[in-house]
Structure 1
Amino acid sequence: MAGPEHHLVFPMRLLSIFSFSIHLAWALQTTCPNPLLSPLSAPLRKSPLLVDDDSTSFDIPNLPWTHEPLCSTSFSTIPGEKFCVFSSSSYNLGAGVSFLTTPETAAGLVAVINRVADQWADRRHFKPQEEIQHPDLPYAVISIPGKGKGVIATRKINRFETIMRSFPAIIADNAFFPKEEEDEAGVKFKVTEGGTRKATPAGGPDGSKGFVKGRRYYHRALEQLGDRQRVLNLARSRKGEMHVLEDVIRTNAFGMTINGRDCKGLFPEIARMNHACDPNAFPRFTSKDLVMSAVATRDIMPGEEITISYIPLGMPSSYRAKSLGNWHFNCSCALCTAPPEARDASDSRRERLMELFYAMQDSETQYDALIDWTREFIELAQVERLITKIGEYYQVFMKLYYDKGDPESAKKYGQAALYFAEIFSDPEGGFCTSLREDLQVVEKVLAETKAKAA
């Protein structure tokens, strides 16, 4: 029905919502349960505060960095491109934050870092729980047998309620995390964008063996924090193989995109939440303040453990087990320990969801079949409690019904998609922004159709 001037632009990444590949960067992102959403991007501001190790003066008014940057051009294949360690030890009431990123990205974050000081009215959400348990908080951090530290509800938490909020301790560009491979002799080495660096046999005083590329930068980023224990208290999965900070980041970090660059963000309080394949909470990043929040996906009862997913949601059990290999544990959540009949039934529903998702997008699909498959898809997704992915699904449904000449249904699914997207993703991020733009296109077509019929 729409003319050529009205197009809904849907990113190709949505075509792989049910892709079960485990060879992507998800394996390095402990708490990035839904990397297929639009990138969580902190918008850069135009800033003259472009500071690096060549700057003639570091004493610039309103500059949040409390240490001179440590920079190198060896992390990039782009000639002259620098990556630096930028730290503010006064950030987050003295807990501090370090960025391992480019000077351009750091300059764009200056306004965000400075503005945080005005957003500390409700500090109870941010207090490190190892220090004190606030009686008015809905959760407590405790030791859980077989899991180390974990988070439990201290009262009933309502669906969609914000449980916890956390400022970052570290945000690092993925350039600092090269892939590991082995040569023919079985010797591990790292492959970086700038070349290959083999492991060295000697260990260091920080407990790391080999993989010296970047160790100096990890060490500087950690040492310049105001509260290093906030990071060092977190779990590690590969002790002795790399610098302690790299290990902590690889084990606990969230995936995000800042200024178009893939990064890992370490939010220590949220990182205390353990994994479940059917979690009751979801981590949401907001770019305006660089805060990661945990939002309840359903009602949580007092004494119940609060969990998030470390892997993309919606995968069958065999794929989940492979994806969790990076953390070296066997999942014991209710979904994974259910009786075989129940697990098989869940796997069948998830595999059927994948089949439906691709069948619906076939250009030969008839409108009546689309309606039937949409109804079946939604019912299956509800049974599997994939509520955090509903925004993604409904955005795709909006496009499908729009292309079939049904803008009324497209608008309905678009509005529902935006409702859930604003709960579980950054309201100012790319996903919500694209949804609003798509809805405007649909509403314009509807208005033009009504005007012609009048």
Structure 2
Amino acid sequence: MYAPVLSLVSTFVLASLTDAKTVLDRQCWHEYPLVTAHISSSTDRTKEYAFVIQDSIHRITEFGAPWTHPPKCTLILRNINDKLCVYTSTSFANGRGISIITTPTIAKQYAGLPAFTDQSALNAQQINEPTYTWRASTILNKGIGMLATKPLVFADRVTSYTPAFLALLEDELTTHEREKWWRLAIEQLPAQTKEEFLGLAYVFGDERFRVQDIVQANTFQVEIGGRNHLAVWPETSRLNHACNPNAQYIINTDMLSHTVRATRPIAEGEEITISYTSPLDPYSVRQNHLRPSFRFKCACSRCTSHTSDDTLSLIHSLQAQLNDWSASSTGSPEMAEQLLQLHREEGLEGFMDVAYGFAALAYSAVGDETGAVKYAEKAKEAILMKDGMWSANLRIWEELLMNVKAHWSWRRRE
């Protein structure tokens, strides 16, 4: 991920998905944009790293599979009413290893996931296997990025990996304390995984907080046991941002996997990108998220365009008209096709699930079963690539596909 080195400030800003799962009110289906969680503590340089764990650590004397190290824990933290412990398995995923900082209760839930209990499932889904579709390379003004090593088409898999590190999102530990625990977690990883993690990009450049700095620049969010955890997938972290990305990712919480697929044709040598923020937001909103969270100003083609925000306004206007089911509605298949084309022109192929959904309903509303099925299938495909099989939105299109003519939208606009 892109992360220029800047001077240290007193607040680490960690990117995560909103806890409240904010619903964009201009759409009739959910979209979950990235927001920021601020974790603040003193960085006045009066205290150095604690490399040796001392009296504040409480050891859990009984441990076993899947953990290969005795868990070490904090005292009870008031805000979560529990302690946080470092759980490491060097045997996880055929020796790739993983370190997790979480509560004892949630650690049991992690241990019960198929990712831990069924190695054959990881193998069957080719998780942690190289695809030979990309290489890491230095990119002007972006640091390290990911370039395609061969032409890619829609839905081609770019990466699919398990994380090296996860940590429950909290704001109670001081920056120095958090670094101590996070460093312990990284130190216990297998040598190769540790090296890959420590080789990732960072934001501030202060070695005293190196692990937190790396997490800031490379984190994704995953919810396990009802609590948000920050997660780092080293390979995926090579992907830079664009507001018109040519790839999309999905996180499978059962397998703890992060999978990236192409959303449009990608030429050999072309950079592969994902979006760090909601590309459906206007320019100012996107920049206001990216600047404090990742410390850069996006200069992609959409952010330098004088017409991109106008196009977004038109997209929102068309969606509102298509979502109008009154007798005077002007929604039509032609309007839906215009909506789809605008998404493609903006490079939003990975975020077309809502647009495909409107198209499915528009065709159903005029009694065109073929068109309705076509776009309901595309809406499903887009949801699976972006939100996964757990998305409630998937049920909407499965219901329509079961019997288009029995759907509430059938012939509503004839």
Q: Distance in 1 between matches of 2:339 and 2:283?
A: 19
1:162, distance to aligned residue in structure 2 (A): 0.2
Instruction: Spell out the pairing of 1:203-282 with structure 2 (5 A cutoff).
Output: 211-226=175-190, 227-240=193-206, 243-282=209-248
Aligned to 1:315: 281
1:351 to 290, 313, 318: 313
Aligned to 1:290: 256
> Is the 8 Å Cα contact of residues 18 and 354 (structure 1) preserved in structure 2?
no
Q: Distance in 2 between matches of 1:93 and 1:138?
A: 22
Q: Distance in 1 between matches of 2:272 and 2:233?
A: 16
Corresponding residue SS for 2:87: strand
Q: Distance in 2 between matches of 1:140 and 1:287?
A: 26
Instruction: Spell out the pairing of 1:150-169 with structure 2 (5 A cutoff).
Output: 150-169=145-164
CA deviation profile, 1:33-72 (whole Å, cap 9, x unmatched)? xxxxxxxxxxxxxxxxxxxx7866324xxx1111222334
Does 1:387 pair with 2:349?
yes
Report the residue type matching 2:237 in the other structure: A
TM-score computed with the length of structure 1 as normaliser: 0.68
1:312, distance to aligned residue in structure 2 (A): 1.3
Does 1:118 pair with 2:113?
no
1:385, distance to aligned residue in structure 2 (A): 2.5
Aligned to 1:3: none
> Is the 8 Å Cα contact of residues 411 and 439 (structure 1) preserved in structure 2?
no
> Is the 8 Å Cα contact of residues 414 and 435 (structure 1) preserved in structure 2?
no
Aligned to 2:110: 109
1:359, distance to aligned residue in structure 2 (A): 5.1
Report the residue type matching 1:310 in the other structure: Y
TM-score computed with the length of structure 2 as normaliser: 0.74
CA deviation profile, 1:405-426 (whole Å, cap 9, x unmatched)? 9896876654331122223342
Corresponding residue SS for 1:257: strand
2:301 to 323, 327, 334: 334
Identity of aligned residues (%): 26
Change in 2 beyond 3 A, CA 1:146/1:287 = same
Aligned to 2:35: 26
Change in 2 beyond 3 A, CA 1:84/1:148 = same
CA deviation profile, 1:381-427 (whole Å, cap 9, x unmatched)? 2221322222234446768999x898968766543311222233423
Q: Distance in 1 between matches of 2:306 and 2:150?
A: 34
Does 1:89 pair with 2:51?
no
Corresponding residue SS for 1:164: strand
CA deviation profile, 1:315-342 (whole Å, cap 9, x unmatched)? 33333322220222232333334xxxxx
CA deviation profile, 1:7-32 (whole Å, cap 9, x unmatched)? xxxx972535699x99x852469xxx
Aligned to 1:13: 23
Where does the alignment leave 5 or more consecutive residues of structure 1 unmatched? Answer: 1-10, 30-52, 128-133, 179-191, 198-209, 338-342, 450-454
Query: What RMSD in Å do the two structures reach over aligned CA positions?
Result: 3.9
Q: Distance in 2 between matches of 1:320 and 1:72?
A: 37
Q: Distance in 1 between matches of 2:315 and 2:360?
A: 17
Aligned to 1:436: 395
Q: Distance in 2 between matches of 1:322 and 1:288?
A: 33
Q: Distance in 1 between matches of 2:24 and 2:368?
A: 20
Change in 2 beyond 3 A, CA 1:370/1:122 = closer
CA deviation profile, 1:221-258 (whole Å, cap 9, x unmatched)? 22221132211111111233973222211211112322
Change in 2 beyond 3 A, CA 1:414/1:174 = farther
> Is the 8 Å Cα contact of residues 336 and 358 (structure 2) preserved in structure 1?
no
Corresponding residue SS for 2:110: helix
Change in 2 beyond 3 A, CA 1:282/1:12 = closer
Instruction: Spell out the pairing of 1:33-44 with structure 2 (5 A cutoff).
Output: none
Question: In terms of mean alpha carbon deviation, does 316-325 or 243-252 score higher?
Answer: 316-325
Q: Distance in 1 between matches of 2:207 and 2:321?
A: 45
1:149, distance to aligned residue in structure 2 (A): 1.6
Q: Distance in 2 between matches of 1:373 and 1:117?
A: 48
Q: Distance in 1 between matches of 2:249 and 2:404?
A: 35
> Is the 8 Å Cα contact of residues 248 and 385 (structure 2) preserved in structure 1?
no
Q: Distance in 2 between matches of 1:218 and 1:100?
A: 8
1:424 to 382, 386, 394: 386
More RCO (CA 8 Å, sep 6+): 1
Instruction: Spell out the pairing of 1:362-377 with structure 2 (5 A cutoff).
Output: 366-369=328-331, 373-377=335-339
Aligned to 2:134: 139
Equivalent residues, number: 364
Where does the alignment leave 5 or more consecutive residues of structure 2 unmatched? Answer: 1-20, 39-57, 409-414
Change in 2 beyond 3 A, CA 1:317/1:241 = farther
Change in 2 beyond 3 A, CA 1:256/1:152 = same
Report the residue type matching 1:336 in the other structure: C
Q: Distance in 2 between matches of 1:357 and 1:168?
A: 37
